[in-house]
A and B are shown apart, each in its own frame.
Chain A
């Protein structure tokens, strides 16, 4: 009964979202107040219905209802309850349901918090969100119904993919989807502005907090995915340039460009068309990501099951949503006025360079990700594009971008004084240079790449700190939250860069054969294998190693890496044991048993500063959230509109 209720709610949600997508749009064109007023209740109803539907699916999982095909494919009675819940989004159908639930959630949030916006604008924004949701719900209802029954019911489910049975899975996809889908709000604002023909500073101000919020979730989502790959895949890396990772990274890059160009559009009224195009691009790349992951056109470690008919449907959806918005853009953009003029050295120029570099970076990731597909489509053969391509292309683009982080915020709008900027950056420059020379030597060996990384990190971090100090002096000890947010995010990048540099330059990796009593030393630490024993788990059996970690003869900790064999799939899974620390991780994973005497192949890593990578990402996201809560976004629109754009700092 519960699955039918869920399915019914899903159909009702489809009807509600059709109303949300069509009626307010017509109402806004014809100035019909009643139809405009439909937008909010429709968006909220849509959300409640989907939440109910999602709860029904979750209930089917928790109750082990294997008469639901999706549950039977992704769950199992032996699966712990928390994973039975996470399994709701462990497969194709459920993750799409989560996707639309998030979308409707963003819509409901806009409907609740947009009291200060003109009703017509809200109606159009919610309608655009509704139309996107219509497409996705049609996709779910017609090709991927999660409530389809399996009759007769299976006696036992076939279990959740063991790779996904991990605390990381409980949060990673929801965060990622929050980000992906959140860009739909920025997209909806852009489309609404294009429809109304009023692309102005007010539009940019309204969409800024939403864009930033989505970006924060995406940042956290990607960071969690990277962290999950680090400890769950057992390869010890934190980024693999896998198509599925790239699919989430491209909207992030475009979104980062968008946040910065929105700032110009809000403050200076410039680059309006460009900003709108970026908003369309960020969401389009999110949709493209969904397509790449869900259609199976590219091979990936994530290797989701794919079905060609679904691929065709998403491709159609992609074509309609992106194609129509780009057509709208081509129609409306020529009529948009140019913004204020600016000098060569100005904050506008800095942000323009930032945008160009980020767009080039996005383009190169896109090219690398789609290249195998392009070559295959042209009949030129099969190939794969790996980290060497991405590292070669990406680093030269990112280095100038990082250089600019320190400089950009110092530049004034319209025209900046180069000499003044140079004076204020002098100390940072000296510190960065010193860091580039000294830090790598403190860590061990000096190489050009580690020197560059350390230099960039200190350059960004120190100039950020100096700018905060300067501002506090002028502002009498206070500054707007968005100022703090920006600098916190930039500081996060410095932390991230330092982590990437140090782990890349100084990690140690050992693949050894170990027997009980053997010792391996790595990064100044010793690891002794005490024992490897069999241990049962709820739905797997495991071999658990016991390693004693010590430094200079002092025992620090025992580590327990596992090799698991899941009953249902028989696929071996590696659970690495990690002693995480502020300045280093010690990482042990079990390979294979080698012989009858109990020797195993063991992989041991010393990873200096690896946690700074994810720490940096969290700081970026925290900075973004601070900016979202800046007071000026909550000012009533009348008050804001009466001020000249340059006066709202």
Chain B
């Protein structure tokens, strides 16, 4: 009798693992850049191509780098969260418009609201490569010394904002 229970027991273990697996996000991959200086770049700004933005400009401030694009469906999902959060003015959000057309991007922000202090245009995705972007949206928390402290892959939800990002920002700002 006992050996005939083996399949059931093996299956119970499998179900246990699958249940734990459900609570994890397979897209949430730890970035090797955490604890390292944010890769430097200088890119034109979305709303004024004559002006540029570089990482060095943010020295001495805690800030968020949010990678987005107008063609990205998941960005549409996180956008209201960002717009709402930007109103609190707690921390500057710099957008990185990834592999996008300037006209499309501007129109997108006009329609859905602009949470960004400013947006840098990474038209050919070079900077994205330096940052190890493999899915849009992604968000980086960068500290006063310009060190990447956290990377969030996928859309920011109110939950991940309040539980993960904001506590870290508060700690870094001290």
Task: Name A's B-contacting residues (CB within 8 A).
Answer: 158, 273, 277, 280, 284, 291, 295-299, 308, 311-312, 315, 318-319, 322-323, 326-327, 329-330, 333-334, 370, 372-374, 376-377, 382, 569-571
B7: chain A residues within 8 A (beta carbon): 277, 280, 326, 329-330
B22: chain A residues within 8 A (beta carbon): 295, 297, 308, 311-312, 315
Whole-angstrom distance between the Cβ of B52 and the nearest chain A Cβ: 24
Cβ < 8 Å to A, chain B residues 1-21? 1, 4-5, 7-8, 11-12, 14-15, 17-21
Whole-angstrom distance between the Cβ of A30 and the nearest chain B Cβ: 27
Whether A318 touches B71, Cβ cut-off 8 Å, given contacts A323-B8, A330-B1, is no
Interchain CB contact under 8 A, B21 and A373: yes
User: How far, in angstroms, from A308 to B14 measured CA to CA in the complex?
Assistant: 18
* 3 nearest A-B residue pairs (beta carbon): A570-B71, A377-B20, A326-B8
Main secondary structure of the interface of B (DSSP, over half): helix
Nearest CB in chain A to that of B71: its residue? A570
- 22 A-B residue pairs with CB within 8 Å: A158-B73, A280-B7, A284-B11, A297-B21, A297-B24, A298-B26, A308-B22, A312-B22, A315-B15, A319-B15, A323-B8, A327-B8, A329-B7, A330-B8, A373-B17, A373-B18, A373-B21, A373-B26, A377-B20, A377-B24, A382-B28, A569-B71
User: How far, in angstroms, from A319 to B13 measured CA to CA in the complex?
Assistant: 11
Nearest CB in chain B to that of A377: its residue? B20
Taking a contact as CB atoms closer than 8 A, the residue among A312, A318, A333 that contacts B4 in the complex is A333
B24: chain A residues within 8 A (beta carbon): 297, 373, 376-377
Q: Interface digits, B69-95 against A, CB 8 Å rule (1 contact, 0 not)?
A: 011010000000000000000000000
Nearest CB in chain B to that of A292: its residue? B18
Nearest CB in chain A to that of B15: its residue? A319
Whole-angstrom distance between the Cβ of B8 and the nearest chain A Cβ: 4
Q: Interface digits, B125-139 against A, CB 8 Å rule (1 contact, 0 not)?
A: 000000000000000
**Among the interface residues B17, B22, B29, which one has the most CB atoms of the partner chain A within 10 A?**
B22
Whole-angstrom distance between the Cβ of A280 and the nearest chain B Cβ: 8
Interchain CB contact under 8 A, B17 and A374: yes
Given contacts A277-B7, A311-B22, A322-B11, 10 further A-B contacts (CB under 8 A): A297-B22, A299-B26, A299-B27, A373-B18, A376-B24, A377-B20, A382-B28, A382-B30, A569-B71, A571-B71
B12: chain A residues within 8 A (beta carbon): 323
A299: chain B residues within 8 A (beta carbon): 26-27
User: How far, in angstroms, from A296 to B23 measured CA to CA in the complex?
Assistant: 11
Interchain CB contact under 8 A, B19 and A315: yes
Whole-angstrom distance between the Cβ of A384 and the nearest chain B Cβ: 9
User: How far, in angstroms, from A570 to B4 measured CA to CA in the complex?
Assistant: 55
Interchain CB contact under 8 A, A334 and B1: yes
